[in-house]
Structure 1
Amino acid sequence: MIGFKRTGNEKLFNNKSNKSRLKPYLFLLPALLVTALFVGHGLFMAAKESFVTDGNEIIFHYYVELWKHDTFLYSLRVSVWVAFISTAISLVIGLLITRVMFRLFSRDGWKFIAWFPMLIPHFVAAYICFLLFAPSGWLSSVFFQIGWLESMSQFPVFVNDPLYIGVIFTYIWKEIPFVVLMLLPVYQEMDLRFEDVSRTLGGNKWSVFKTVEFPWVWPISLEVFLILFVFILGAFEVPALLGVTYPKMIPVLAYEWFYQGQWANRPLAQAMMICMSVVALIAAVLILTFTQRWRAKWATSRGDDE
Structure 2
Amino acid sequence: MRATLLVLPALIPVVIVVIGGVGTTVVQSLGLMPLVGSPALSVAAFEGSDDLLGSALLSLGIAVVSTAIAAVVGFFTAVLIISGNWGGRIVGALGAAAVTVPHLVGAASVGLLLSDSGVLARLLGVAPEAWPALVAGPTWFAVIAEYAWKESAFVALIIVGTLATRITSYDETAAVLGAHRSARLRLVLFPLAAPSLLVASTIAFAYTLGSYEVAWLLGKTYPEPLSVMALRLFNSASLTARPEAAAVAVITLLLTGAIIAVAMLGIRRMRAWQ
Q: Output the TM-score relative to the length of structure 1.
A: 0.76
Q: Secondary structure at the match of 1:161?
A: coil
CA distance in 2, matches of 1:265, 1:103: 54
| Aligned-residue offset at 1:139 | 2.1
Residues 71 and 152, structure 2, Cα contact 8 Å, conserved in 1: yes
Give the match for residue 257 of structure 2. Answer: 281
Corresponding residue for residue 165 of structure 1: 141
| Structure-2 separation of matches of 1:37 and 1:207 | 49
Q: CA deviation at 1:288?
A: 2.5
Match of 2:24 in 1: 45
1:123 to 71, 79, 104: 104
Shift of 1:113: 2.9
Q: Please point out which of 61, 69, 73 is paired with 1:81.
A: 61
Equivalent residue runs for 1:232-251 within 5 Å: 232-251=208-227
Distance 1:33 1:111 in 2: 36
Tell me if structure 2 keeps the 8 A contact 1:159–1:165: yes
Paired residues of 1:162 and 1:247 also in contact (CA < 8 A): no
Deviations 1:115-165 (A, max 9, x none): 101221111111111111111222222333xxxx3x332122211112110
Deviation, structure 1 residue 103:
4.0
Cα distance, 1:259–1:163 mapped onto 2, change above 3 Å: same
Question: C-alpha distance in 1, partners of 2:90/2:109?
Answer: 24
- CA gap of 1:57–1:136, structure 2 versus 1, over 3 A, is closer
Aligned CA RMSD, in angstroms, stands at 3.0
Q: List runs of 5+ in structure 1 lacking aligned partners.
A: 1-17, 301-306
Task: Indicate yes or no: 2:130 matched with 1:154.
Answer: yes
Counterpart residue identity of residue 45, structure 2: Y
Query: 8 Å contact 1:99–1:187 — kept in the other structure?
Result: no
Q: CA offsets per residue over residues 60-94 of structure 1, 9 Å max, x none?
A: 3433x16xx55111111211111111111111111
Residue aligning to 1:7: none
**Matched-pair contact (CA < 8 Å) for 2:81–2:160:** no
Aligned to 1:8: none
The answer on 1:33 being equivalent to 2:12 is yes
Give the C-alpha shift of residue 188 in structure 1.
1.0
- Taking structure 2 as the reference length, the TM-score comes to 0.84
Which structure has more helix as a fraction of its residues?
1
Matched, 1:112 2:73: no
Residue 52 (structure 1) shift: 4.2
Q: 1:177-213, CA deviations, whole angstroms, 9 ceiling, x for partnerless residues?
A: 2112210122212243433443455544443233222
With 198-207 and 259-268 compared, the bigger mean Cα shift is at 198-207
Taking the TM superposition and a 5 Å limit, the aligned residue runs for 1:65-214 are 65=47, 71-104=51-84, 111-144=92-125, 149=126, 151-214=127-190
* Aligned residue identity for 2:24: M
Equivalents in 2 of 1:134, 1:285: separation in Å?
38
Distance 1:298 1:174, change over 3 A: closer
Instruction: Give the partner amino acid of 2:187.
Output: T
Q: Flag the 1:260–1:57 CA change in 2: closer, same or farther, 3 A.
A: closer
Overall identity of the aligned pairs, in %? 25
State how far apart, in whole Å, the 1-side matches of 2:52 and 2:241 are.
12
**Cα distance in 2, alignment partners of residues 221 and 47 from structure 1:** 32
Change (3 A) 1:85 1:202: same
* Structure 2 equivalent of residue 62 of structure 1: 45
